[in-house]
């Protein structure tokens, strides 16, 4: 991914900023770019994987950072992800509740089986949007904020995220033209300290939208 690619500013006020993080760039690079553009310190309150695109929040002062972190810790922020997973997910709606810990075989992975060290509770709700050939398009709603949670959870139930080289395992499958996991942080909704309810949305980026168009076209 080109390092010149900028993160779109979705929303900002005197206390916080929401950006649409491009895929393929490191979190710290996005932070550095936007701090330079904004002219003030931006304080991260959560993270996205390098190859995951979408909404990411920053605070502009410590009071707001503490407030937003308390919302995340209290599970009072609703996060919606769009993901394409391998295979046909049987239930149209469901919940994956499996504790995660580091993998015994690969230190980079967080897994539900074959794990070591401290386990952390993890819960992901989901809703199927569409069945597309060998894949299922769905919305995922992580209720906890564990590292790689969505990727690990769907891999654990036999439906890894499409094109996920870390968690795909024997079921790795990648649509033509895609070079990263199909995972996008589509929206975040929460009550701001002002009392206003904010819903911040990020459109599906061109690479993921293009994959869906190519997959759906032969079926239509």
- Residue 118's CATH number: 3.30.2350.10
In a domain, 139, yes or no: yes
147 vs 114 pLDDT, higher one: 147
Task: Kindly provide the residue ranges of all beta strands, DSSP E only, lying in the chain, ordered along the sequence.
Answer: 8-12, 16-21, 43-44, 53-59, 78-86, 93-97, 100-103, 110-111, 115-120, 123-132, 135-142, 183-191, 197-201
Considering the chain, what is the average pLDDT of its residues?
90
The Cα 187–Cα 56 span in angstroms is 9
Q: Examine residue 60 and state whether it is found in any structural domain, yes or no.
A: yes
pLDDT at residue 38 in the model: 60
Residue 2 counted as domain residue: no
In a domain, 80, yes or no: yes
pTM value surpassing 0.85 = yes
Number of domains into which the chain is organized? 1
Q: Are 18 and 188 in contact (CB under 8 A)?
A: yes
- Check pLDDT > 70 for residue 2: no
The domain containing residue 16 runs over which residues? Answer: 8-216
What are the catalytic residues?
A: 49
Please report whether residue 3 resides in a domain.
no
């Amino acid at each position: 991914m080109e390092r010149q690619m900028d993160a779109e500013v979705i929303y900002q006020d005197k206390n916080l900023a929401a950006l649409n993080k491009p895929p393929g760039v490191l979190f710290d690079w996005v932070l550095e770019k936007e701090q330079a553009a904004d002219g003030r310190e931006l304080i991260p309150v959560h993270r996205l994987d390098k190859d995951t695109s979408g909404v990411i929040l920053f605070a502009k002062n410590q009071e707001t950072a503490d407030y937003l972190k308390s919302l995340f810790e209290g599970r009072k922020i609703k996060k919606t992800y769009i993901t394409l997973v391998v295979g046909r997910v049987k239930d149209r709606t469901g919940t994956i509740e499996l504790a995660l810990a580091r993998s015994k075989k690969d230190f980079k992975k967080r897994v539900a089986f074959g794990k070591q060290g401290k386990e952390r509770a993890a819960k992901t709700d989901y809703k199927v949007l569409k069945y597309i050939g060998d894949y299922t398009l769905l919305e995922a709603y992580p209720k906890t904020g564990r590292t790689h949670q969505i990727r690990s959870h769907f891999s654990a139930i036999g439906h890894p995220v499409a094109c996920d080289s870390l968690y795909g395992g024997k079921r790795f499958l990648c649509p033509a033209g895609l070079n990263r996991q199909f995972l996008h942080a589509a929206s975040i909704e929460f009550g701001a300290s002002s009392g206003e309810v904010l819903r911040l949305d990020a459109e599906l980026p061109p690479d993921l939208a293009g994959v869906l168009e190519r997959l759906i076209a032969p079926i239509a």
